[in-house]
Amino acid sequence: MLQHDVLIVGSGLAGMRAALEVSQDPGIDVAILTKVHPLRSHSGAAQGGIAASLGNSSDDDSWELHMYDTVKGGDFLVDQNAAEILGREAPENIFELEHMGCAFSRMDDGRIAQRRFGGHTAPRAVYAADRTGHALLTVLFEQLLKRGVKVYSEWYALDLVIRDNTCQGLVAYDILSGGIEAIQAKAVMFATGGYGRTFRITTNAFASTGDGVVMAYRAGIPLQDMEFVQFHPTGLQGSGILLSEAARGEGAHLVNAQGKRFMEDYAPGRMELAPRDIVARAEQSEIDAGRGVTEKGDSVFMDLRPIGEQRIRYALPSVMHLARDFVGLDPIQDPIPIQPTAHYSMGGIPCDVDGQVRLKDQDDAPITGFYAAGECSCVSVHGANRLGTNSLLEAVVFGRRTGRAIRDQVRDLAPTSISEGEMQPAVAEVDRFIRGDGSESVGAIRADLRDVMMDKCGVFREAGQLQECLSDVKDLQARFAKSRIDDRGTIFNTDLLDAIELGHMLEFSEVITVGAINRTESRGGHARRDYPTRDDEQWFKHTLAYRDDDGPRLTYSAVNMAPRHREAYPPEERKY
């Protein structure tokens, strides 16, 4: 049996940042377990920037303003103690990363450059051209190498073992050998990323299948605010591949088939730099009204030409290459067809501002030894809609805080154990596919699921379609129970992993849908055509979904309105 003091699952920004913090104490044995090599983690795909009120490009910025923008951007479902920490701790985190060697773009005077971003009132986005996530992921990996932190690379976590509200460790699968191992740990941290892969059009990597979220759910932990999924306004038409919001930050226009900058009808104060949920809905409304572009009419144009060739080349090289490589258009000369694309998971595993997973019930009971940070967690710092550049920031700020909490607490945690019986569910899950004789194709079920979720639980939602969505997902779950795979081998069996990931997608998709059916209001990323306004009287609260035998059981919990260093911002009408 393998054993560590601390086991971190996931090697993106949150996981690596936490590992660095824990490894500062050489007496603690910490390891990272990840299904892809750390440098392949999806944090690296973030493009436009990371927010911090450094004030380098403007004198008019402060952590309070950052906090306020975050709360308003999240349509007031944000826990304000968390938003306060995000704003206050952002600058020191950026400077720390800069001291580690991060390749940030610079101003003429040598300070870190900052640009504008949607929903932020000041130029607050620190960036590395338009590959900011890549620069951050790289620098954190360099630091891990320097410290020699143990990494289980290409290991897949199958099951989280929790007994009497205390985490015991994990059961994991070695992708290279096909072996199943129990790994005991006094502290387990999940930094396993988001769940956008369940939508047909998405920016997310193939790896973003909500594994950690579902493992926690199966272990009896409720999932929070899962119905809140962010659709990014500028995915490349067809594939949904992300074109950075930095393009609009630098001055790109959004234009409909009539050549009109339609954002003046939706957010005249901010135009293209309104928060993402508002821009994505504006686009979808234009498309639904028949003012879409291209043959299919399923997209609008993003026009980068106002930015100018020189600045596009310097500040947006990735956007330029993506458009050329994937749709064969040159943004220096052509407008680019874009469409809303599933991008970010606001919901996830409920935890406090130090990453401690909590049930958020009446006693707010902690799960001893279990922590979470980053996109898989729900602190909740983004509420109903995340602002651009706040995700990298969340991963770093709360990854660091979680690492520190673990470092301080792990010595007081009792030794743990995993029994043969507790390994059984994971062993059975693998066995069902390796030895099973089902008939349904995993690939076909996944394609159907992604269509169903996109078409019936997408940018706009409505009761009838959501009910259909739920019944479709249940049918797909039934088909999945009879599914089969081709590869029965033990070495690098990607067919098996695809199947297990699909099981996860089917499980959390049901939670998203049930949460969306119940929430009869529109708030942030959750937009109901049949309930078009926000209803604070009834719905100023977080959703918590527990796993019952016949599906998710929903309860609700209060939004935190108790920041420590200032008054809370009361809910107000959200206009831009």
Partner 1 sequence: MPTQRFLIDRYDPADDRAYEQEFSVDYEPGQTVLDCLNIIRWEQDGTLSLRMSCRHAICGSCAVKINGRSGLACQTQVPAAADRGDPIRIGPQGNQTVIKDLVVDSHKFMEQFERAETWLQPHEGQEPPVREYRQDKDEFDHWQHASTCIHCGACYSDCTVAAVDPKFLGPAALAKAYRFVMDSRDSRKQERLEALSRMHGGIWDCTRCFMCVEACPKDVLPMDAIMELRTEAIQAGVTNNHGTRHHKAFAGGVAKRGRLDEATLPILSAGFGPGAIPEMLGYTPGAIRMLKSRKLIAAARRHGASKEGRREIRRLFDEVADEKHHHDVNREAFGTQYAEALRT
| Environment class of 339 (CB within 10 Å of its CB; exposed 0-12, middle 13-18, buried 19+) | buried
Q: Angle at Cα 128 formed by Cα 126 and Cα 132, nearest 5°?
A: 85
Q: At what angle do helices 494-518 and 442-456 cross, to 10 degrees?
A: 20
Question: Tokens standing for 193?
Answer: 């990323």
Amino acid at 558: A
CA torsion sign for 116, 94, 130, 244 is negative
CB of 502 to partner 1, least distance (A): 11
CB of 554 to partner 1, least distance (A): 33
Rg (CA), the chain: 22
Number of H helices, E strands in the chain: 15, 22
Contact residues for 20 (Cβ-Cβ < 8 A; gap 6+): 140, 143, 144, 147, 149, 403
The smaller minimum CB distance to partner 1, of residues 128 and 418, is found at 128
CB of 99 to partner 1, least distance (A): 4
Question: Tokens standing for 301?
Answer: 């144009």
Residue 232 to residues 202, 295, 432, 483, 499, Cα–Cα distance (Å): 9, 22, 37, 33, 27
The smaller minimum CB distance to partner 1, of residues 112 and 185, is found at 112
Catalytic: 276? yes
Query: Contact 203/194 with Cβ under 8 angstroms?
Result: no
Query: Contact 514/223 with Cβ under 8 angstroms?
Result: no
Q: Which residue has the tokens 């086991």?
A: 7
The smaller minimum CB distance to partner 1, of residues 96 and 455, is found at 96
Q: By C-alpha distance, which of 168, 568, 532, 132 is closest to 316?
A: 132
Query: Contact 176/492 with Cβ under 8 angstroms?
Result: yes
CB 572: neighbour CB atoms within 10 A?
10
> What does DSSP assign to residue 383?
T
Contact residues for 319 (Cβ-Cβ < 8 A; gap 6+): 47, 130, 243, 244, 246, 247, 304, 312, 331
Query: Contact 117/389 with Cβ under 8 angstroms?
Result: yes
Residues in the chain, overall count: 576
| Environment class of 164 (CB within 10 Å of its CB; exposed 0-12, middle 13-18, buried 19+) | exposed
The helix/strand/coil state of 89 is helix
CB of 446 to partner 1, least distance (A): 8
Alpha carbon 506 to chain centroid, angstroms: 18
Question: Tokens standing for 456?
Answer: 């019936």
Question: Tokens standing for 47?
Answer: 């493009």
CB of 286 to partner 1, least distance (A): 23
> What is the biggest distance separating any 2 CA atoms in the chain, rounded to whole angstroms?
66
CB of 471 to partner 1, least distance (A): 25
CB 548: neighbour CB atoms within 10 A?
8
Q: By C-alpha distance, which of 383, 292, 377 is closest to 340?
A: 292
Catalytic hit among 276, 358, 400, 407 = 276
Enzyme catalytic residues: 276
